[in-house]
Amino acid sequence: IIQPLIVLPYLTRVLGPEKFGLIAFALSFMEYFNVIIDYGFNLTATRAISVNYENKQEVNRIFSNVFYTKGLLLGISFFIMILVISIFAKFRMNQELYYFSATMVLGHALFPIWYFQGIEKMKYISIMNLIAKLIFTVCIFVFVKTKDDFMLVPLLNGLGYVSVGIISLIIIFHRYKISLFLPAFREIINTLKEGLAVFISNLAPNLYNNSSTFLLGFFTNNV
């Protein structure tokens, strides 16, 4: 709650409405890919981990399937992102900004919130989110001093979440002794099929909530 009250007034003053609006547009663009990568795993994978918590082998299988499925979705998302940036002039003009913003999508993919929910260790989610926000907040005040530093904002934000994702995976592998292995491709397909209904049911509200900012930025201007 406190972090936006500190960061947003600072960024709007330092960057101005045009650059701040451009960043908001880039982040709204990235939210579409976050929806793809989530794919409903926060419900389906959480339930699967919770039901099979005592079966270590099954938990390893579920974790590996979801992890590599999210990796596949991440690769597809980056391909679509590069394609859109290459085709549309509006994106090409500030393509570095969108690539920097993509670090948030990477961090989102790395952070296995569904695993911590499944084992009912919600404290890790709160701690990791707090760490990411602290890293971002401190770096913003240290590195963002003028309008020319606007590209650092999504990069610093993304690197905070990437760091959190890596730390959370280290905790999972070392503390909870999860073994990661490459699943067969049919296992990935089955994982996608299992989560498809939840993905579709979550798609419309997620797109609706994000699209106002994106459409304003796309059809009007950054301000």
- pLDDT tens per residue across span 78-112: 999 999 999 998 899 999 999 999 999 999 999 99
DSSP string, 117-129: HHTT-HHHHHHHH
- Looking at per-residue pLDDT, the higher value among 204 and 23 belongs to 23
- The most confident of the ranges 74-83, 86-95, 121-130, 170-179 is 74-83
Amino acid at 196: L
The pLDDT, as a whole number, for residue 123 is: 85
* pLDDT of 200: 87
Q: Is 203 helix (H, G, I), strand (E, B) or coil?
A: helix
Is the model more confident about 51 or about 202?
51
Phi-psi region of 177 (alpha: psi -120 to 50; beta: other; left: phi over 0): left
What mean pLDDT do residues 208-217 have?
A: 83
Per-residue pLDDT of 193-206, as tens digits, reads: 988 888 888 887 87
Structure pTM? Answer: 0.88
Q: Which residues of 93-131 are buried (b: 16+ CB within 10 A; e: fewer)?
A: ebeebbbbbbbbbbbbbbbbbbbbbbeeeeebbebbeeb
To 10 degrees, what angle do helices 185-219 and 2-38 make? 130
For the chain, give the mean pLDDT.
90
Place of tokens 């419309």: 204
Mean pLDDT of 170-194: 91
Above pLDDT 90, what percent of the chain?
Answer: 57
